[in-house]
Structure formats: C-alpha cells, structure tokens
Amino acid sequence: MTEYPDPKHPNLIYYNLPGVRMPSYPRDQYFEIIKKQTKDGVDIRDFDFFLIVSASRFTENDIWLAEQMQ
C-alpha cells in the first residue's frame, strides 16, 4: 500500500490499496490490515471516495470490495 500526498493540497492523500485477492490481504482481514499499515490508522470510513481500477473484468473480490465501500 502506498500513500501519495497531493503537492498542491496538503489535506488530500491518494492511496494505492492492494487487491483483495492478494495472499497477504485476505478478505476477512482486509480493512484491519489496511488500517494498521497507514500512517494514521486510516479507516475505510475516512475516505471521501474510491476509484477501483481493474486489469480486466471485475472479479468476485472486486465486487465485494465495492459493496463494502457503500
């Protein structure tokens, strides 16, 4: 997971989150692991919006992730 602070807007940070299907990010622990890995313990509810990018069609895991973000 990588954080990208916006150079013009100090309150804006972009996060490149790992895919849910990654072995070290199992679905049942995904958000807990993300929270532990961010500098300030960022919770999913702290994000203002999400952009999901997929290399191909959405998988079951991509759909699950989108549903969790609603």
Predicted TM-score (pTM) of this structure: 0.73
Per-residue pLDDT 10s for the chain (70 aa) are 788 999 999 989 888 888 887 889 999 999 999 898 887 888 888 888 888 888 888 889 889 999 998 8
Tokens of 40: 């300030």
Expressed as residue numbers, the domain containing 30 is 2-68
Q: What angle do CA 25, 21, 46 make, to 5 degrees?
A: 55
Number of domains present in the structure of the chain: 1
